[in-house]
């Protein structure tokens, strides 16, 4: 059971990335996760963060399938695993345009496993490989072909379901959004803005929430109070309780995304770890 930081670094100067990594390590967090959207290449950024720290685990959450060929992803994974043994986690996800998700992901993993890299053998230990699995079929694929799953934007009910699908022995690293440093009104506004972004623009998250019992009414107008509260934990006690709830539901690791951050947010979060 462990707790880490999850963060988007798009648009952040590299100095901020290094400072965040150093602070995360200093505060004793187990890992720093980051997404890949419109900024730096995920593996390049992982290398920069690993070089700026000495103990911290660095995880791509996620490296996008559509940004690189499978052989390139495998080569980068091996290189970072060789350079920083036991400190890199390769999380993959996103969409392959025009492809059915499960066969496309399976084919991508096949490409990684079959990569012809005779001058770069797999390091020991081999970096943990995860996929961003939400639905039952992708979770089953994660259990079959990878070391586990990295679900994002999920309530604790999903964590329990994911653990059941993955079975014992597979690694489950769950993202959880929290707000620590805001008035109740500002916190509600920030939480609804975060939830609204995904319920408006991400059909796969909409489908996942419907599988969990949320209705069209919950997804309308930026998300109902019930949905917002299920996705974002507001306040220190709620954040601590939600982290514990994910761990109790079967997560091995919870990576916490702090919304509406202040300079003290991560230090306050460190005090809330189980």
Strand segments (E) across the chain: 2-7, 31-34, 57-60, 63-64, 88-93, 128-131, 148-149, 171-179, 232-234, 253-259
Which pLDDT does position 183 carry in this prediction? 86
Q: What pLDDT, in 10s, does the model give residues 63-107?
A: 999 999 999 999 999 999 999 999 999 999 998 877 789 999 999
What is the CATH code of the structural domain delimited by 133-263? 3.20.20.30
Q: What pLDDT, in 10s, does the model give residues 156-214?
A: 999 999 999 999 999 999 999 999 987 888 999 999 999 999 999 999 999 999 999 99
Which pLDDT does position 177 carry in this prediction? 98
Which pLDDT does position 92 carry in this prediction? 98
Q: Which two tokens stand for residue 133?
A: 């699995």
Indicate the average pLDDT of the chain: 96
Which pLDDT does position 137 carry in this prediction? 97
How many Å separate Cα 102 from the centre of its chain? 19
Q: What pLDDT, in 10s, does the model give residues 242-260?
A: 999 999 999 999 999 999 9
Which residue's structure tokens are 């202040």? 262
Which pLDDT does position 75 carry in this prediction? 98
pLDDT classification of 110: cutoffs 50, 70, 90: very high
Residues ≥6 apart with Cβ < 8 Å to 91: 33, 59, 60, 61, 62, 63, 129, 130, 131, 132, 150, 173
Residues ≥6 apart with Cβ < 8 Å to 65: 92, 93, 94, 95, 96, 104, 105, 108
pLDDT over 80 (residue 240): yes
**What is the domain partition of the chain in residue ranges?**
1-131, 133-263
Which pLDDT does position 97 carry in this prediction? 76
Q: Kindly report the pTM of this predicted structure.
A: 0.97
**1-131 CATH choice from 3.40.50.970, 3.20.20.30, 3.40.50.720, 3.40.462.40:** 3.20.20.30
Which pLDDT does position 99 carry in this prediction? 77
1-131 and 133-263 have identical folds: yes
Which pLDDT does position 95 carry in this prediction? 85
User: DSSP state, 149?
Assistant: E
pLDDT-above-70 percentage for the chain = 100
Q: Which two tokens stand for residue 7?
A: 């963060």
User: DSSP state, 242?
Assistant: H
């Amino acid at each position: 059971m462990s707790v880490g930081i999850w963060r988007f670094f798009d648009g952040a100067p590299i100095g901020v990335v290094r400072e965040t990594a150093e602070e995360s390590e200093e505060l004793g967090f187990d890992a720093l996760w980051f997404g890949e959207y419109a900024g730096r290449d995920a593996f390049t950024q992982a290398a920069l963060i690993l070089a700026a720290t000495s103990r911290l685990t660095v995880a791509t959450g996620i490296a996008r399938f559509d940004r690189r060929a499978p052989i390139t992803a495998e080569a980068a994974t091996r290189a970072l695993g060789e350079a920083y043994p036991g400190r890199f986690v390769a999380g993959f996800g996103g969409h392959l345009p025009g492809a059915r998700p499960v066969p496309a992901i399976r084919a991508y993993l096949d490409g990684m496993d079959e990569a012809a890299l005779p001058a770069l053998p797999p390091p020991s230990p081999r970096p943990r490989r995860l996929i961003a699995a939400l639905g039952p079929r992708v979770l089953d694929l994660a259990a079959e072909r990878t070391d586990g799953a990295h679900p994002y934007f999920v309530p604790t009910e999903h964590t329990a379901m994911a653990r059941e699908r993955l079975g014992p022995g597979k690694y489950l690293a769950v993202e959880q959004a929290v707000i620590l440093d805001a008035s109740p009104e500002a916190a509600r506004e920030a939480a609804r803005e975060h939830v609204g972004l995904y319920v408006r623009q991400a059909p796969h998250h909409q489908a996942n929430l419907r599988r969990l019992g949320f209705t069209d009414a919950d997804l309308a107008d930026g998300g109902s109070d019930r949905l917002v509260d299920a996705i974002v934990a507001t306040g220190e006690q709620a954040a601590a309780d939600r982290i514990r709830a994910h761990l109790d539901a079967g997560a091995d690791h919870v990576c916490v995304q702090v919304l509406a951050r202040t300079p003290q947010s991560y230090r306050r979060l460190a005090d809330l770890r189980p």
